[in-house]
Amino acid sequence: MNEHPETEVIPTTSPASPAAPSPAPPTERIAVRTGELAGGSDDPGESGTVPARPAFDTRFQATTQRDPRPATLEDGSPRPYVTIVLPCYNEGAHVLKEIDRITATMNASEFTYELLCIDDASTDNTLEVLEQAGRDFANLRIMPFRRNGGSGTARRIGTQQAHGEIVVWTDADMTYENERIPELVRILRDDASYDQVVGARTTEEGTHKWARVPAKWFIRKVAEWLTKTKIPDLNSGLRAFRREVSLPYLRLLPAGFSCVTTITIAFLSNQHDIKYVETSYAKRAGVSKFHFVNDAYRYILQVLRMVMYFDPLKVLMPPALWLIFIGFIKGVVDMVRHPFYFPASTVLLVVSGLMIGSLALLSDLVVRSRDGV
C-alpha cells in the first residue's frame, strides 16, 4: 500500500452545524469463534429435524465492544460518528454539487461526521475543485493519490483511514440518493443486530442497460445460491457499515468495482446481517468508468473467489460428485456392452471427480483450520 498524504485534516464539527448529541451507546458485535466456518452445520438433532435458528445463533457469543481508538483526534477535536468515503476520479464537473448535497444533508442530521474525498489521480481538475471545497466546507477531508488505484483501492484505504465508527460508501456521480445517508446510519445506531445497511436500487440506469440487467441478475442469483441469502442488490455503491466489523475483510477487496460485491459476500458468509433499503438510482453525471465485458467477468470471478475463501465445498464438491456419478453410470453401461472393459474416458471421469473432491476437502480443511476470518 502506498502512503498517500492528506492535504489537511479539518475539525469535524462546523460552526453552522447543529450541536451533536452524546455519542451512541456501544453496540453489540457478533464474534465468530476462531477456526469455525461461518454458517456452521445443519445436521439434524436427535429428533431428526433441523431446529430453527434464533435471531442470534447460539453458537456465536455476542459481546459488547467499544471503539479502541481515543475519543478525540490528534488535534484535540472530537472523533466523528460517521465517515463518508467519496472516491473521485475525473468528477471535476459535478463533484462540488455532490459535496454540497452530502454536507447539507449531514448538517441537518443529528450526527457528527467527516466527508473523506479521495482523488484517485484524476486527469482533470477534480483535485483543484476538492482543494477549494476544503476551504469552504469545515467537515471535508481530502486524500489525494499520486497514481490511479481504482475505486476498490480508494474505498479500502478510505475505510482504514476513517475516523468515524460508521463508514458510508457512495459515489460522486450524482446517481445515489445521498440525502438518505442519515437514514442508513440510524438503522445501524438503533439496531445492533445489523452490521451493514445497503441502498438497494430499484432501477438500472447505467450504460449498456440491455446487457447489464441480465448479467447482474445472473451474477446475483449465483451469489444468492452460494451464500444461501436473498440479495436484492449485490453491487450497490451506497452502503453504511460498522468500521470495526469491516477491518478484517478489507484485505480481500479488489481494486475495481467488484469491491462492493466482495464486502457484501464477506459479511454474509461470516454471519453478519445486512439490511436492504430500497432506493432510487439516477442517470450518472459525466462519463462511466464501467467496462461491461471486463468488469462483468471480474464480478463473476470475485463471487466465486469469495465463496471459495469461506466455503470451498459449495463450489468444488458439486462438480466432483457429478463427474463421479456420470463416470459410474458410464462404467455400468460399458460393463454391459463390453464386459470388464472400461474406456479411458470412463476412467478419466471418475479420476477427475475424485481429484476435484479431494481438492474440495483439502480446501475446506484449510478454511476451518485458519485463525480469524
Please tell me the predicted confidence (pLDDT) of residue 325.
96
Could you give the CA distance from residue 204 to residue 208 in angstroms, rounded to a whole number? Answer: 10
The average pLDDT across 38-62 equals: 40
Which DSSP string corresponds to 92-141? TTTHHHHHHHHHHHHHTSS--EEEEEEE-S-SSSHHHHHHHHHHH-TTEE
Determine the pLDDT at residue 33: 36
Residue 145 vs residue 216, higher pLDDT: 145
Strand partners, 275: 197
**pLDDT bucket at 211, cuts 50 / 70 / 90:** low
Residue 16: pLDDT band (50, 70, 90) is very low
Question: Pick the residue with more confidence: 291 or 275?
Answer: 275
Query: Whole-angstrom Cα distance, residue 298 to residue 261?
Result: 10
| pLDDT value of position 327 | 94
Q: Please enumerate in sequence order all residues whose Cβ is within 8 A of that of 208, keeping only pairs 6 or more positions apart, or say none.
A: 292
pLDDT of residue 66: 57
- What is the per-residue pLDDT for 146? 93
pLDDT score at 206: 55
pLDDT band at residue 72 using 50, 70 and 90 as cut-offs? confident
- What integer is the mean pLDDT of 298-324? 85
Q: What's the chain's average pLDDT?
A: 80
Per-residue exposure over 141-167, b if at least 16 CB sit within 10 Å of its own CB, e if not? bbbbbeebbbbbbbbbbbbeebbbbbb
Q: What is the pLDDT of residue 19?
A: 46
Taking residues 93-108, report their average pLDDT: 95
Q: What per-residue confidence (pLDDT) applies to 309?
A: 84
pLDDT in tens, 173-189: 889 999 999 999 999 99
